[in-house]
Amino acid sequence: MLQARIGKLSTSTGIPLDQLDRLFRMEAVKKQIEKLKKTWSVARGEGDGIPDIGHFVFTGSPGTGKTTVASTLASVLFGLQLKASDKLVETTALDLQGDYLGQTKTKVQGLLEEAKGGCLFIDEFCSFEGQFGKEAIDALVAAMTSPDYRDLQIRIAGYPADVDEVFRKNSGLKSRFQHFFQFPDWTPEDSSRFFALCAESDKFRSLDKAILDGVRRACTVLVPLDGWANGRDVMQLYNDAKSNRAERVFDSPELDKILLEADVAAAIKAMLESRQPKIRKALKALDDPRKSSGPLPAAHFQGPSARSCTVEMADEVMADECPEESTMEADHGKSCNTPTTEAEQEELLKDEEQKDNGEGHASRTNSELGANHEWDERDEGVTDQVWDELQACIGREEQERKDLLRMKEEIKRAMREEQEARQRYEEELARIQAELEKEEQERARREAEEMEARRRAEEDAKQRKFEEQLRRKEEMLRKREEIKQKLRTVGPFFLSS
């Protein structure tokens, strides 16, 4: 019945997967889908019928392509003649939950019926909450095991940790899914490459290296922030740059489509300014404590600056992209080198610590001299209250310096632990991949041996059948010869009588 609904099998082999080639940074996903395609094709080619496609889990951050791949996968499965329809019904976990008792089941049932024969894609799967959320999940599990929805495929998407938490709270749910796709976050280099591809797709002249470097450096600041949306944010940055260009060329059109550094710089500056609260909040504990108002002017303080490197990176990028609007670096005569790797960040912390140690030594020396020769260096006319306040400020400055060094040590330790954890993760991933490749090779070997055994069995059967036919024919010829011989023997007897 399903075969009749699908229709005649297509002779096309690679066309459906071409849709994935148009997606950015999808090499691992395409490889996974190609493997599934081969598995399904072999099963169908060997007469096993239409294979069970199963249900899918997409995990990753916003803007990594989960929804796009879900839509593309529907077309791919339809093009491979594995689904009767390329229909895709999109919803979210919140949309599936009702406002009163009984409404949730009605909502879920309605969407299941709408997606029947196609795919139901549930985004933000981790948003199921309370009794209504549990009711929705129970209804989905029931549908995944019901013969009435055998031709319905369910795909869910969400953050990895949040999806795992939903699975943990709902035993039996994870086992209903057969395929798991991980969508990794974009790096600043990925963002810069995607920006260039967008410009190339819109037929802009090749972008200058300075533009792409500016995008990469800006994304180095933006990527670690909460709420970074990967491809969506890069696309927003690109569209803002195009809007800046449109404003520039409105009165003086260009013969060639050119995106200038100023167009992109203004877009970068706007995005950095809109994210400044998050940038400042990210490392607020390391911000310079001396910026707070106190009883004495800031000029009385002699100590290290405690501004976080992330904040300085944002200031540097904004200054580099729009130098006419930022002169702070020129006043100080220096800028913060943008650390793009963990090694560079750790090296920067070491340099700052050495500088802080030197300045801290001078500060301690002055503090000690102030304590040992308090009345010798005290100017005439300075009251006890003012002098005590000055000594208290010096003490607070020393404590703040110690706290800053401690925080930097904690950051370095956290960076080392993260690097070690990442190394362990990569080693474990390499081990698992090696085991999977070994298992795949072993499975292929077994399949080859089984196919060879079947081929030999078929040849042996054919050989035995041929030999049996030959024996029978020889037996018939022998019997005919015996009959002829008997006829020759009795023939003269009948003739003589």
Distance in angstroms (rounded) separating the CA atoms of residues 394 and 283: 25
pLDDT of 323 above 90: no
* pLDDT 10s digits, 196-242: 999 999 999 999 999 999 999 999 988 888 788 898 999 999 999 99
Which band of pLDDT confidence, cut at 50, 70 and 90, is reported for residue 349? Answer: low
Give the model's pLDDT for residue 3.
32
Give the model's pLDDT for residue 482.
87
Distance in angstroms (rounded) separating the CA atoms of residues 158 and 149: 23
DSSP string, 396-422: HHHHHHHHHHHHHHHHHHHHHHHHHHH
* pLDDT 10s digits, 19-45: 677 778 888 888 888 888 888 878 878
pLDDT of 283 above 90: no
87 φ/ψ angles, rounded to the nearest 5 degrees:
-65, 135
Residues 319-335 have a mean pLDDT of: 46
Matching residue, tokens 């493997």: 35
Distance in angstroms (rounded) separating the CA atoms of residues 117 and 472: 56
**Which one has a higher pLDDT value, 93 or 373?**
93
DSSP-assigned letter for residue 284? G
Q: Which pTM was predicted?
A: 0.52
Q: Say if residues 17 and 34 touch (Cβ distance below 8 Å).
A: yes
Distance in angstroms (rounded) separating the CA atoms of residues 64 and 25: 9
Nearest to 45 by CA among 54, 34, 53, 37: 37
Among 395-399, 455-459, 469-473, the range scoring the smallest mean pLDDT is 395-399
Most distant pair of Cα atoms in the chain: their distance: 173
Nearest to 349 by CA among 418, 407, 397: 407
DSSP string, 141-208: HHHHT-GGGTT-EEEEEE-HHHHHHHHHHSTTSGGG--EEEEEPPPPHHHHHHHHHHHHHHTTPPPPP
> 132: Cβ–Cβ under 8 A, 6 or more apart, which residues?
97, 98, 104
Distance in angstroms (rounded) separating the CA atoms of residues 77 and 276: 44
pLDDT of 329 above 70: no
Query: What is the number of alpha carbons within 13 Å of residue 487 lying toward its C-beta?
Result: 6
Among 20-29, 63-72, 460-469, the range scoring the smallest mean pLDDT is 20-29
Among 280-289, 313-322, 429-438, the range scoring the smallest mean pLDDT is 280-289
* pLDDT 10s digits, 401-459: 888 888 888 888 888 888 888 888 888 888 888 888 898 898 888 988 998 999 999 99
Looking at every residue in the chain, the average pLDDT score rounds to: 76
Residues 339-366 have a mean pLDDT of: 51
pLDDT of 112 above 90: yes
**C-alpha pair distances (Å), 124 with each of 90, 129, 236, 380:** 11, 12, 21, 70
Residue type, 407: M
Give the model's pLDDT for residue 194.
93
Which band of pLDDT confidence, cut at 50, 70 and 90, is reported for residue 55? Answer: very high
Which band of pLDDT confidence, cut at 50, 70 and 90, is reported for residue 371? Answer: very low
* pLDDT 10s digits, 151-164: 899 999 998 888 99
Nearest to 104 by CA among 136, 137, 142, 141: 136
Strands ordered across the beta sheet of 179-183:
88-92, 119-123, 153-158, 56-60, 179-183
Most confident of 147-151, 189-193, 432-436: 189-193
